[in-house]
Structure 1
Amino acid sequence: MSGRPDALFPLFAELETLPGVGKKTAQTFAQMDVARPRDLVFTLPHTGIERRPVETVQEGPFPSVMTVPVTVLRHLPPTGHGRPYRVEVQDTATTITLVYFHARAAFLQSLLPVGEVRIISGRVELYDGQAQMPHPDHVLTPEEADTLGGFEPVYPLTAGITQKTMQKAVTGALERVPEVAEWADPALVSQESWPSFAEALATAHTPQSMRDLTAETPARRRLAYDELLAHQTTLALARAHRRRKPGRVLEGTGRRVRPVLDALPYTPTGAQQRVIAEITEDLAGPHRMNRLLQGDVGAGKTLVALVAMLLAVEAGAQAVMMAPTEILARQHLSALRPLAEAAGVVVDVLTGRDKGKDRAAKLAALEAGDIHILVGTHAVFQDDVAFHDLGLAVIDEQHRFGVRERMRLGAKGAAVNVLVMTATPIPRSLALVTYGDMDVSILDEKPPGRTPVKTALASAARLDELVDHLGRAMEDGRQAYWVCPLVEESETLSLTAAEERFKRLRARFGEEQVGLVHGQMPVAEKDAAMARFVAGETRLLVATTVIEVGVDVPNASIMVIEGAEHFGLAQLHQLRGRVGRGSAASTCLLLYAPPLGETAERRLKLMRETEDGFRISEADLEMRGAGDLIGTAQSGLPRFRIADPERQAGLMAMAQSDARAFLVQDPKLQTPRGEALRMLLWLTGQDEAIRLISVG
């Protein structure tokens, strides 16, 4: 089954083939990310309306939706332009006024004939003590009453689509769901008492009460699991596909690594030694390495990356290290070059700034193999960059790199090994979603000589006092960062804030003492300002969040974050990680403008309590949700329609172990359950993975 199974064609037909959907409605549906009947099947109701009839609307509460049999008393046409048309009706205990704007009298007289009984359903509110129902949702004859049902599902909508249109289209789409074989592990299905896929869909679309709309019902849990299983099967197939391809055996000799480790003024931590051993084993093994290295701020990832790259060079290959910004790339260069050159290894840098002859010379040296390790921004992946023999790619801080990009990366060399590093501790549930195809290493110890950072909260009202304090610390030879607030999401406003603060602090401490760095500066100016700060020429660096990742100035021991309440936890944690890198006692001051909102207060207090990045990231996920945490637009995070990876982390872990274990038994998905899994991959739009099986 390499093409889409015939049974699924009706679910992938045009939306216009559904009842009540014309061309214009189909275009409107597209705004909801609904392009096929299949998408409607996976769009579940998010709330519901109780439509069971009551004797009288007096039972309340007001306002609420009620369904009640009534007798039509009289019609009251509008008394002036723009006035509503009213119809008075009576239930067993009281009179209700039905209110219609822009109504046609003839239509309402045939819908609500005087003296007849009708079942009306809609939102009842009190107006001057009188019950009113503006524009009833339903007006039915007693014979039609059964069509109402007791509990009506309500779907998420977009402007231009009504509940009626939606329900009609969904009903049509559900009729096209074929009988499918079971793709989940049968033992799991019986242990969880899950219905079959088709039953689960039918149940989820016909809730009988509000309780049936929660994620914990067997039907919804089952559908969420199916979605997670499809995703994890894709990742497991990508992993298996990569492992089937012969890797490049990079066996080091130790002659480059040993002098570097011997020259270090400290012994690597136990965690660093463990991870270096894992990477050494990966590189020497027959499969390509595809490893994620997670390390909290300041856990020493750069040393691990350097050792990995030196191992590649020892084995006769080249290595590349890619950083997200030019500042970081140049900083990596200055950290790596002295150590590498002591071992006789040539390191160079390539960024967007390299032009003309200079760039041409670097590219020629790279292709000839004269540059052993190349550091750079994503410029290193441009088409004209050719390596002599690339064996290892290290990607730093690229939590913005999805599975597809990682697969593309290998194109720069035969069987390139990949090490992805992040200083953003990723909660386990999200690591499974984003990096489920990778092996994971964690650096959970700080190197010796790092001092804990004391974190304090201070109200912006104490600004002058704080500036005095800062002046005394600078006189004692200490260096400080002053990070300016994120003003809304506007780059220009944040900039103004930084420039204002810079002018004031410069007026206070003098021209020579204060530097400024922000994202809009020409790169050369930015680098020069950073260089002066690193050299200790300026004592205070005012910055926007460009200094968030990786900047390393061991002498800087004070971090002031102004407007701290506007930052997310992960960002505050990253910024705080810029200090505490030397032996001096370090402080991080979170300046806020009172009164603090509840969430902001929770965030700042948590920062004061802990320096554990994993604890912080779990809390951040809880407060903000996955999309915000990774920046959904760039995250390579799949969009789930039913599953919620952060709240259903347990289901995600089950899906991962199920997918990996099953692929060991049936790597080509040829058994009956394997065929069923292929059906699931087609159904959830993960069919790219099927091609991985056939590519081999």
Structure 2
Amino acid sequence: MNLSDPVESIKGVGEQTLKKLNKLNIYTVEDLLYHFPREYEDRSTVRKISEIEYNEVNTIIAKIGMLPQNIKKGRQILTKVNLRDDSGSLFAVWFGQPYLKKQFQLNETYLFSGKVTYKYGQIQMESPDYEKVIEDKNIFTRRIIPLYPSTYKLSQKIIRQLIHNALEETQNQLIEFLPLWIRKKYQLADYNYAINNIHFPESDHSYFVARNRLVFEELFLLQLGLMSIKKQMEQERKGFAFKPISELEDFIRGLPFELTKAQQRVVDEIKEDMSSDKVMNRLVQGDVGSGKTIIAAIALFIAVKNNYQGVMMAPTEVLATQHYQGLMPILEQFNIKTGLLTGSLTKKQKENILKQIAEGDIDIVFGTHALIQENVAFKSLGLVITDEQHRFGVRQRTILSDKGNNPDVLIMTATPIPRTLALILYGDLDISIIDELPPGRQKIDTYSVDSSYRHRVYQFIKKELMSGRQAYIICPMVEESDEQELQSVLSYTEKIKHEFEGYHISYLHGKMKPKEKQKIMEGFLNGEIHILVSTTVIEVGVNVPNATIMLIENAERFGLAQLHQLRGRVGRGKFKSYCILITDSKSKVTMERMKVMKKTNNGFEISETDLQIRGPGEFFGTRQHGLPDLKIANLYKDISVLKKAQEACLEALNMDPYLEREEHKLLKNKVNQLINEKIKDLSL
């Protein structure tokens, strides 16, 4: 049997089981073997019935003392079996499995494992796993037992049996692909040993050794795949070697502020990239308000003064318009023509701007998803920038790049990600970090209160409004539907009108047309609107220097990174700013989050904690990044293994850039398989 064979070739996989396995994304023998346990149960200790511990899982060896009975309990059938050993007796009970009555023979000996309780004056073992006692051949009891992620009506017993069958049938197929030098240097177990012991560990030690090997393998292969793509791109794709621009110093001197050291460092990295004929593929991450937009403007300036066009794509019309309006006056002083392409333009406006882009009459286009439509054609696209890149799928970014002939690519994000993890997430990119805020950025005082303080909070907001300031109020997040989200915003706005009589209150939500959103944001920016009640549509990039209060209702419903993004909407001007989190939740996770928000304004610290609390899957939403889900590695807990895997990866590629040596042949096949099946769409 080959690892690539369909899973139905394994003994025991019928039509119904196959459907259930497919729901778990198990289609091949290899998928099944890489369906790792989520936890384990220690059934290695066999107890006498007289020694059992109540409300715990116990393993016993017992004979069938009486013929099984099926008893009707309401609509369900209870199957009851009397079990005995030389120290006592108890009853094993199962609900809804009447066929079990025929499974047991009087006086035959079985191993049983299950939770034991005392109910109705009887000792009961609830829904135990069981198997006939066969000397030295019991696989599901008298040992450490795996518990797997499952789906409706696919029992642990069935999954265990299928994996056991697969292991038996593929023993000689698990061919070691990690070269000996890596296994020796990093003390990694053999492939066969690791796969067997992750499913059916011989001991605690065997499990840890197996897991270490498989975590290393997963992270190593993923990075090797990403770095191979990057290397290939560097070899195959020649970009533009932009010449140094004498006007650039004038442009930077003319900015209304001085660049911070961190901004200058990132500008130097970008200039170096752009002057090379390799395609720039750089990620710039910087905290909320660290000044990423001006760095984008400098890169665009270099491209345009080299006679190429530039494009900057943002996830929302509000943000795209803001970039356009903010940078247009600065750029136009240097005869750079800018344009804005969004979904809300009229047909005539759209046709006009598309014609100007195609003929090269517009040097820099700002816009939204509208930029990736088929009818958008550039005369000579040299630089592509995507802002808040986590809002775009990999394919969308690729489509935009394909509108030019290998343009340079700059990606920006305000979601700080710990550097080591960023290397995994963006292994195909070079990374720049702006780790310093511009002078004058206010520290935002953050408070967490329960709803009994709401009236006092409203009084505080009034005080700020009387001083001429403005406030955001973020509505409770509603997951059910857009319709409910809309109702939530409307009813909240109505509810607070009497509290804030004499002040203009408006609202924003996801179902509004872009033009409506734009009008509201302009009203808020111009100070005509005093309080803006909104959903998280204002999370990204909105810049209103006069807004000093961010009130977030039901703060427990938001992740830390999102709370930090929302808080970043205030503190953007010269006035003292505040973020108030209202929550009645007393859960440990909520308390932890609120504590972190009060303690620090540092996005990198916050992202570390967010990752720790929520785990990597939720934190990254790996699917939208095009990354395969990690099967066994945990990017937070396994950071030390990740560092070793990165070290090994760089060493392997330095030694053998294309993995052509004999000792790397099987490794190369494995990496190619990963690229083709899982990460081929990842790279820009």
TM-score by length of 2: 0.91
Match of 2:518 in 1: 527
1:137 aligns with 2:129: yes
1:339-378 matched pairs, under 5 angstroms: 339-378=330-369
1:310 aligns with 2:301: yes
1:167 aligns with 2:160: yes
Residue type of the alignment partner of 2:29? P
Q: Is the 8 A contact 1:403 1:435 kept in 2?
A: no
Secondary structure of 1:319 counterpart: strand
Q: Is the 8 A contact 1:234 1:686 kept in 2?
A: no
Q: Is the 8 A contact 1:291 1:439 kept in 2?
A: yes
1:91 aligns with 2:85: yes
- CA 1:239–1:76 in 2, change beyond 3 Å: closer, same or farther? closer
CA drift of 1:345 comes to: 0.5
CA drift of 1:319 comes to: 0.3
Residue type of the alignment partner of 1:38? E
1:562-641 matched pairs, under 5 angstroms: 562-592=553-583, 594-641=584-631
CA drift of 1:304 comes to: 0.3
- CA 1:98–1:586 in 2, change beyond 3 Å: closer, same or farther? closer
Residue type of the alignment partner of 1:475? M
- CA 1:637–1:260 in 2, change beyond 3 Å: closer, same or farther? same
Q: Is the 8 A contact 2:628 2:678 kept in 1?
A: no
CA drift of 1:651 comes to: 2.3
- CA 1:99–1:281 in 2, change beyond 3 Å: closer, same or farther? closer
Aligned residue among 662, 667, 670 for 1:677: 667
- CA 1:105–1:489 in 2, change beyond 3 Å: closer, same or farther? closer
Q: Is the 8 A contact 1:48 1:209 kept in 2?
A: no
CA drift of 1:633 comes to: 4.3
CA drift of 1:334 comes to: 0.8
Q: Is the 8 A contact 1:14 1:35 kept in 2?
A: yes
Q: Is the 8 A contact 1:25 1:161 kept in 2?
A: yes
- CA 1:535–1:153 in 2, change beyond 3 Å: closer, same or farther? closer
Match of 1:20 in 2: 12
Q: CA RMSD in A?
A: 2.9
Deviates more, 1:225-234 or 1:661-670: 661-670
CA drift of 1:149 comes to: 5.7
Match of 2:213 in 1: 222
Secondary structure of 1:553 counterpart: coil
Secondary structure of 2:561 counterpart: helix
- CA 1:674–1:692 in 2, change beyond 3 Å: closer, same or farther? farther
Q: Is the 8 A contact 2:625 2:682 kept in 1?
A: no
Residue type of the alignment partner of 1:10? N
1:250 aligns with 2:213: no
1:408-487 matched pairs, under 5 angstroms: 408-487=399-478
Residue type of the alignment partner of 1:367? A
Match of 1:195 in 2: 189
CA drift of 1:384 comes to: 1.0
CA drift of 1:421 comes to: 0.1
Report the Cα distance in structure 1 between the residues aligned to 2:216 and 2:589, rounded to whole angstroms.
31
Secondary structure of 1:138 counterpart: strand
Aligned residue among 223, 227, 235 for 1:236: 227
Match of 2:102 in 1: 107
Aligned residue among 637, 649, 652 for 1:662: 652
CA-to-aligned-CA distance 1:657-692 (integer Å, 9 cap, x gap): 322332233233211233121232256575577999
1:402-413 matched pairs, under 5 angstroms: 406-413=397-404
Report the Cα distance in structure 1 between the residues aligned to 2:101 and 2:417, rounded to whole angstroms.
64
Residue type of the alignment partner of 1:163? Q
CA drift of 1:588 comes to: 1.7
Deviates more, 1:341-350 or 1:163-172: 163-172
Residue type of the alignment partner of 1:46? R
Secondary structure of 2:402 counterpart: helix
CA-to-aligned-CA distance 1:358-401 (integer Å, 9 cap, x gap): 11111111111110000000211111110010000000001144
CA-to-aligned-CA distance 1:9-52 (integer Å, 9 cap, x gap): 81111222111112322121001110100101111233344445
Match of 2:378 in 1: 387
1:31-70 matched pairs, under 5 angstroms: 31-52=23-44, 54=46, 56-70=48-62
Q: How many percent identity over aligned positions?
A: 36
Report the Cα distance in structure 2 between the residues aligned to 1:185 and 1:141, rounded to whole angstroms.
41
Report the Cα distance in structure 1 between the residues aligned to 2:376 and 2:487, rounded to whole angstroms.
38
- CA 1:44–1:465 in 2, change beyond 3 Å: closer, same or farther? closer
Report the Cα distance in structure 2 between the residues aligned to 1:100 and 1:330, rounded to whole angstroms.
63
How many residue pairs were aligned? 676
- CA 1:27–1:77 in 2, change beyond 3 Å: closer, same or farther? closer
Match of 1:269 in 2: 260
CA drift of 1:571 comes to: 1.2
- CA 1:100–1:445 in 2, change beyond 3 Å: closer, same or farther? closer
CA drift of 1:314 comes to: 0.8
Report the Cα distance in structure 2 between the residues aligned to 1:105 and 1:506, rounded to whole angstroms.
65
Report the Cα distance in structure 1 between the residues aligned to 2:680 and 2:384, rounded to whole angstroms.
27
CA-to-aligned-CA distance 1:83-108 (integer Å, 9 cap, x gap): 75655443112123344666479836
CA drift of 1:505 comes to: 3.9
- CA 1:615–1:166 in 2, change beyond 3 Å: closer, same or farther? same
CA-to-aligned-CA distance 1:145-194 (integer Å, 9 cap, x gap): 75666213333322233334323322343332556665446444224432
Q: Is the 8 A contact 1:117 1:142 kept in 2?
A: no
Q: Which runs of 5+ in 1 are unaligned?
A: 1-8
Q: Which runs of 5+ in 2 are unaligned?
A: none
CA drift of 1:596 comes to: 2.7
CA-to-aligned-CA distance 1:598-619 (integer Å, 9 cap, x gap): 2112111211111100000000
Report the Cα distance in structure 2 between the residues aligned to 1:685 and 1:169, rounded to whole angstroms.
28
Secondary structure of 2:390 counterpart: coil
Aligned residue among 148, 157, 169 for 2:150: 157
Secondary structure of 2:409 counterpart: strand
- CA 1:487–1:199 in 2, change beyond 3 Å: closer, same or farther? same
Deviates more, 1:531-540 or 1:628-637: 628-637
Deviates more, 1:37-46 or 1:330-339: 37-46
Deviates more, 1:154-163 or 1:132-141: 132-141
Report the Cα distance in structure 1 between the residues aligned to 2:561 and 2:60, rounded to whole angstroms.
53
CA drift of 1:281 comes to: 0.7
TM-score by length of 1: 0.90
CA drift of 1:67 comes to: 4.1
Report the Cα distance in structure 2 between the residues aligned to 1:380 and 1:640, rounded to whole angstroms.
33
CA drift of 1:501 comes to: 3.1
Secondary structure of 1:670 counterpart: coil
